Structure 1
Amino acid sequence: MFIKPTKLEHARVELLKSIKLKKNVIEVPLQKATERISYKQINSKLNLPSTTNSAVDGYGIASATYFANPKTEFSVIGVAKAGHPFKKKILSSQAIEIYTGAIMPLGVDAIVMHEKCERIDNKVKIKEDIKKNQNMRPVGENLKKGEVVVNKGKVLNSADIGQLAASGNSKVNVYEKVRVSVISTGDELVSANSKNRLEGQIYDSNKPMLLSLLNQNYLNLLDMGIVKDNRSKLAAKYAEALSKSDVVISSGGASDGIEDHTQNALKDVGAKCLVWQLAMKPGKPMAVGNLKNKLIFCLPGNPVAAFVCTKLLIKPLLIKMSGGIDLEPLEIKLRSGFEHTKRVGRAEYLRAKIVNDGKDTIIKLHGRKGAGVISSLTGADGIVEIPMECKSVNIGDLLTFFPFDHRGL
């Protein structure tokens, strides 16, 4: 256990060492494989394309004839379309009308686009200089036989699905989903659908937010409800969640206050505390426990802190537990468009927007500050990191920016 607040990257490295990977494998149809994690490396069983074909709509000719006499009028003797090959050989004075994806007929070694040709009846003349092999897709241009289609541990995306289908795969072996239980804690919390909200009570935002944030196809999420600020009830809920899942995530009760029961509840279920407090803002009051290779993440109750810790620490670990290799959040180096001061000894993660000031792309802070101000997340493009040993940020300083998923294509 870390006695004092630990660096985020140190916590990530140490927790990765404690993770037991999923080993069970299942076969799923390709149309259900998006965001699943590949169990093994898959190699192409064929060349793509398997034959040389046309990259454009136009006319196929023998380039040597054109080079000998650019004014040659070629006789058009047929049409080749994708799925409908022209099976005769094209002679030196002949041309074939050909469309994108069509197999290249024998005798053709150049394709000229329609708009670069002049056709009168069954004769066609070339109106521009050409090169041998132009506008032709060679065998294996997309994939060569034996080439890797996806690596073991790849989180499959839409492009992977397309490539797997093109290489003849209708099913794929993937890791079994990691089961994750999500719990909110606090006497003041009620569900958003509650009709009897009392004075002093607030709607629970953390659990719905975390369930949405972790809505990945390689995870199986369980909503374990809201637990009151009570040590025995929290320990009982942890025990129930551990019996149903591989990972438990709770929010609230991770500080050192009288009503913060996380430490004792972890002890009560027999979990070993691996991390207690992170050297970051927001997110300092966070704990991680381990019981029989199952992790319990105890997030702060403040929504922004819970969001940031989940993005930067929990999600990469869940990918690893699920068998994945894409662990690190995407980082972009951008110049600061703001000034900021902080104390040395902890990193800060501020909500920010990417702005073009007419000259450069820069980062500007977004929304009101504060770990409980969830509105600072809505409309933000991502999180900007202010390093631990940094005292101040000046305009123009180079900073690390973590974009949110929804800002990608």
Structure 2
Amino acid sequence: MGKHTMKGFDSLLSYRDAISSFSTEKWKFPGTVKIPIDRALGKISSDNVLSVKNIPCHDKSAMDGYAVLSKDTINASSSNPAKLILKGYTAAGDPPGNVISSGECMEVYTGSIMPNGADAVARAENGETIGKYVYVYSPVSHGKNVSYTGEDIKNGDIIVNKNSIIYPQNIAAMKATGIQSVNVYKKISIGIINTGKELVNGQIENSTGMLLRTFYETGYTETIDGGIVDDDMPSIIAQVKSIIEKCHIIIITGGSSLGRRDMTTEALSSQGKIIFSGVSIKPGRTIALFNIKDRPVLSVSGLPVAALISSMVFVNQYIKNIYGIGYIHKTVSIMDESIHNRVGVTTFQIAETSGKNGELHSVPVKTTVSGMISAMIRGNSIIKIDEDMEGLPQGSTATIYIMGDIKWD
């Protein structure tokens, strides 16, 4: 029997062309909102956030000891200590305004504001208080054990970059500089609609829908459950209409195969325009993209791995188009086993990645079909093999996306 290509799969768009087509569309993007910094963790800043003051805001002692004039200690030694008059003490949190002159010192603690006139701190263990005098037993150089004004953060320094994820250290820096609120992008709302009579009737558990809803819940993305609908045009159209205004992206699962019940393409085309149908990727080649009310609507396989990977690459591109950063962490790894690829196909292979001797090493997880949930359990990364490559030989360097925890030796 001769070769036969199923109708609808005889012409697939290359992965590069699909990404290009996606990126040239004028999509609706989320707006911005000002929120308190204690709610900003994991959000993406829509502006550069600048410090509004110096940290520290005064010259401070970096050590418990004695604030001195360094020139007074230049000849100090254990046999000939510098003898200084003790002018008192100042603790962390005490107001500024203390003053010392040559021949004087002041007891200070870590974080104490330096008295005017002092330019160094002699460590506590290098000095001794006897009555109203302090004896310093070793010389202290100018600036020793002093944290200068703005040494940590200067007024006007960028403490959060525009289009970057806000981490705990950014929040701490904002708090330290007195910033109480920050402008962030509103969450990207991703609607998930699952189609299929077998799901409606409860014959099959909706694991694909659960996978997508949990995968796309982050600090800057959220999901809207579009429910389960039957494979008929009125149901699909009604469900899309019911959530489209709440969403920035919609993913519809189960409507990309060529079965008689799959009316997704016809239903979505009636509501907008089709951008492409079928991409030369593995898994998930049946993916289709529609533009409905300036929202990307992705029709993907009902199989978990194919649905996740094919939707992920375009959601990732949507996020890169807004923020310049990817949704998933991209890096490189050394292949511990070879992997084959068919030229003309961009392959995304689930892999198990671990750290050895300071480098990442990956082994492909063997799968037979694109719906194997067990592959995702065993794997913690995805290897990307470009369409112009026949594969990746053992020992070569691969592009990978981190999807889970990495164990290091």
Q: TM-score range by the shorter chain?
A: 0.7 to 0.9
Paired residue for 2:207? Answer: 205
Amino acid at match of 1:349: F
Gaps of 5+ in 2: 1-8
TM-score by length of 2: 0.84
Contact 1:367–1:377 (Cα < 8 Å) also in 2: no
Amino acid at match of 1:385: K
Question: What pairs with 1:149-164 in structure 2 (closer than 5 Å)?
Answer: 149-164=159-174
**Is 1:87 aligned to 2:97, yes or no?**
yes
Paired residue for 1:193? Answer: none
Paired residue for 1:299? Answer: 300
Q: The residue matched to 1:96 in structure 2 has which SS?
A: strand
Contact 1:367–1:375 (Cα < 8 Å) also in 2: no
Kindly state the Cα deviation for residue 73 of structure 1 after the two structures are TM-superposed.
4.9
Kindly state the Cα deviation for residue 170 of structure 1 after the two structures are TM-superposed.
1.3
Structure whose alpha-carbon radius of gyration is higher: 2
Q: The residue matched to 1:189 in structure 2 has which SS?
A: helix
Paired residue for 1:66? Answer: 73
Paired residue for 2:331? Answer: 332
Paired residue for 2:343? Answer: 344
Q: The residue matched to 1:202 in structure 2 has which SS?
A: coil
Q: The residue matched to 2:110 in structure 1 has which SS?
A: coil
In structure 2, the CA distance between the partners of 1:74 and 1:208, relative to structure 1 (3 Å rule), is farther
Q: The residue matched to 1:141 in structure 2 has which SS?
A: coil
Distance 2:103 2:369 in 1: 77
Paired residue for 2:180? Answer: 170
In structure 2, the CA distance between the partners of 1:405 and 1:339, relative to structure 1 (3 Å rule), is closer
Kindly state the Cα deviation for residue 125 of structure 1 after the two structures are TM-superposed.
5.7
Deviates more, 1:126-135 or 1:280-289: 126-135
**Is 1:5 aligned to 2:12, yes or no?**
yes
Amino acid at match of 1:51: H
Amino acid at match of 2:190: V
Contact 2:53–2:177 (Cα < 8 Å) also in 1: yes
What CA deviation, in whole Å up to 9, does each residue of 1:44-86 have, x standing for no partner? 2222222222334444332222223344355554333321146
Paired residue for 2:244? Answer: 242
In structure 2, the CA distance between the partners of 1:407 and 1:98, relative to structure 1 (3 Å rule), is farther
Kindly state the Cα deviation for residue 113 of structure 1 after the two structures are TM-superposed.
4.4
Q: 1:140 aligns with which of 150, 153, 168?
A: 150
Q: The residue matched to 2:82 in structure 1 has which SS?
A: coil
Identity of aligned residues (%): 25
Paired residue for 1:259? Answer: 261
Q: 1:37 aligns with which of 25, 32, 44?
A: 44
Q: The residue matched to 2:74 in structure 1 has which SS?
A: helix
Paired residue for 2:318? Answer: 317
Contact 1:278–1:284 (Cα < 8 Å) also in 2: yes
Kindly state the Cα deviation for residue 118 of structure 1 after the two structures are TM-superposed.
4.9
Kindly state the Cα deviation for residue 144 of structure 1 after the two structures are TM-superposed.
2.2
Q: The residue matched to 2:197 in structure 1 has which SS?
A: coil
Kindly state the Cα deviation for residue 168 of structure 1 after the two structures are TM-superposed.
2.0
Amino acid at match of 1:278: V
Contact 1:80–1:86 (Cα < 8 Å) also in 2: no
Paired residue for 1:52? Answer: 59
Contact 1:78–1:86 (Cα < 8 Å) also in 2: no
Gaps of 5+ in 1: 191-195
Amino acid at match of 1:393: L
Distance 1:357 1:206 in 2: 33
Distance 1:107 1:264 in 2: 81
Q: The residue matched to 1:84 in structure 2 has which SS?
A: coil
Contact 1:79–1:86 (Cα < 8 Å) also in 2: no
TM-score by length of 1: 0.84
Distance 1:227 1:390 in 2: 40
Distance 1:160 1:152 in 2: 12
Distance 1:25 1:356 in 2: 38
Q: The residue matched to 1:209 in structure 2 has which SS?
A: helix
In structure 2, the CA distance between the partners of 1:31 and 1:360, relative to structure 1 (3 Å rule), is closer
Distance 1:160 1:357 in 2: 31
Question: How many residues are matched?
Answer: 395
Kindly state the Cα deviation for residue 233 of structure 1 after the two structures are TM-superposed.
2.0
Amino acid at match of 1:293: D
